[in-house]
């Protein structure tokens, strides 16, 4: 086999040899880059997960990445003494509500923009497109809080979920690209059979755009689960509504912060694991949605 390869190499022209060497070096650089990125991405996650099983002294002094003695008590303390179980439930409720609101509103808006003609459609689409490049950030927190307070939605998760749902310009344009790829003849056939607008949307459009809806749902879940600033502001008046990210961050600024690094890493691990599990379960749907969007969008 080696002799065949040497003969093949000897029979190649100088330009072919040069191209072969460049191709080999390109592959080596590519895999080195991928390996380095994997290390930088996975190391903080692994360090946090393993650090959550260490004592505070072992964690602050450094040393081996593996704990000397696995401290399950860190998680027990976090759930029993710090009410992390309640905060986890709050985060789950917030994430689920945000996903429901995001997927339902963005898909219906995208369907109308992609399938219906109405006065001001181009202006509306232009405003949505412009909003993708505008970020008001924390400046809008006070007026948004005042608005939700005026309608009585500051003491429940529904208001915060509606706030995190937002304008969704990017989601609407992504879904609209998928809706346009569905043949209009299906709509026309359904209308002949007596189907209305909502029935066409629910029974024809939604099944056809499930991949992109899965992508939007995953992004919405991630945003709601990791949100800190907005959740912090909107749960200050009712600490029982704290989310997990807010509870973990508050440990950092507590009076015993220096003695609770092991509890903070346990809390961070509790906050980290659900989003990893959701991604692993939805990984195939996520990749298929993005790749299909690259063709259909």
Read off the pLDDT of residues 108-134 as tens digits, 9 standing for 90 and up.
Answer: 988 888 888 888 888 888 877 777 777
Q: Look at 255 and 45; give whichever has higher pLDDT.
A: 45
The dihedral formed by the CA atoms of 209, 212, 218 and 223, expressed in degrees to the nearest 10: -120
284: pLDDT strictly greater than 80: no
Which pLDDT tens digit goes with each residue over 21-58? Answer: 777 888 889 899 989 998 888 888 888 888 888 888 88
| Selection from 59, 35, 33, 57 nearest residue 47 by Cα | 59
Confidence of residue 296 (pLDDT cuts 50, 70, 90): very low
DSSP state for residue 65 in the 8-state scheme: S
Name the token pair of 217: 């749902």
Residue 99: the pLDDT is: 93
73: pLDDT strictly greater than 80: yes
Quick count: other Cβ atoms within 10 Å of Cβ 157?
Answer: 22
The percent of residues above 90 in pLDDT, for the chain, comes to 7
Residue 139: the pLDDT is: 73
Helices (H), 132-260: 141-150, 157-165, 169-181, 184-192, 197-200, 206-208, 210-226, 229-234, 244-252
Mean pLDDT along residues 268-281: 81
Q: Identify the three-state secondary structure at position 166.
A: coil
User: Do residues 216 and 101 make contact, with C-beta atoms less than 8 angstroms apart?
Assistant: no
Mean pLDDT along residues 230-247: 85
Q: Look at 12 and 164; give whichever has higher pLDDT.
A: 164
Please identify which residue in the block is written with the tokens 């003491």: 155
- In this prediction the pTM is 0.80
Backbone conformation region of residue 46, classed left if phi is above 0, alpha if psi is from -120 to 50, else beta? alpha
Residue 101: the pLDDT is: 94
Name the token pair of 117: 């003609």
Rounded to the nearest integer, the mean pLDDT of the chain is 81
Quick count: other Cβ atoms within 10 Å of Cβ 249?
Answer: 19
Residue 2: the pLDDT is: 46
Backbone conformation region of residue 168, classed left if phi is above 0, alpha if psi is from -120 to 50, else beta? left
Quick count: other Cβ atoms within 10 Å of Cβ 292?
Answer: 17
Residues 148 and 142: their CA atoms lie apart, in Å, by: 10
Residues 221 and 209: their CA atoms lie apart, in Å, by: 18
Please identify which residue in the block is written with the tokens 């997960």: 49
Mean pLDDT along residues 182-188: 84
User: Do residues 106 and 168 make contact, with C-beta atoms less than 8 angstroms apart?
Assistant: yes
Backbone conformation region of residue 166, classed left if phi is above 0, alpha if psi is from -120 to 50, else beta? left
């Amino acid at each position: 086999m080696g002799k065949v390869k040497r003969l093949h190499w000897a029979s190649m022209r100088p330009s072919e040899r040069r191209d072969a060497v460049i191709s080999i070096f390109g592959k080596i650089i590519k895999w080195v880059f991928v390996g380095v990125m994997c290390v930088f991405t996975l190391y903080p996650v692994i360090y946090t997960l393993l650090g959550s099983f260490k004592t505070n002294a072992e964690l602050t002094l450094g040393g081996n990445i593996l704990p000397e003695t696995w401290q399950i008590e860190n998680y027990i303390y976090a759930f029993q003494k710090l009410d992390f179980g309640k905060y986890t439930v709050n985060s789950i409720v917030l994430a689920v509500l945000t996903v429901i609101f995001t997927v339902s509103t963005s898909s219906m808006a995208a369907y109308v923009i992609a399938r219906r003609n109405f006065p001001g459609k181009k202006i509306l689409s232009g405003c949505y497109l412009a909003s993708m490049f505008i970020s008001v950030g924390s400046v809008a927190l006070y007026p948004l809080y005042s608005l939700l307070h005026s309608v009585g939605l500051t003491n429940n998760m529904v208001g915060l979920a509606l706030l995190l749902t937002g304008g969704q310009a990017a989601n609407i344009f992504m879904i609209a690209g998928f809706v346009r790829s569905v043949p209009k003849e299906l709509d026309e056939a359904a209308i002949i059979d007596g189907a209305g607008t909502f029935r066409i949307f629910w029974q024809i459009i939604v099944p056809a755009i499930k991949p992109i809806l899965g992508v939007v749902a995953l992004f919405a879940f991630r945003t709601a689960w990791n949100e800190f600033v907005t959740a912090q502001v909107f749960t200050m008046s009712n600490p029982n509504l704290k989310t997990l990210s807010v509870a973990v961050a508050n440990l950092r600024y507590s009076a015993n912060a220096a003695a609770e690094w092991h509890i903070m890493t346990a809390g961070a691990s509790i906050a980290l694991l659900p989003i990893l599990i959701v991604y692993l379960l939805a990984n195939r749907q996520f990749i298929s949605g993005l790749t299909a969007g690259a063709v259909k969008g």
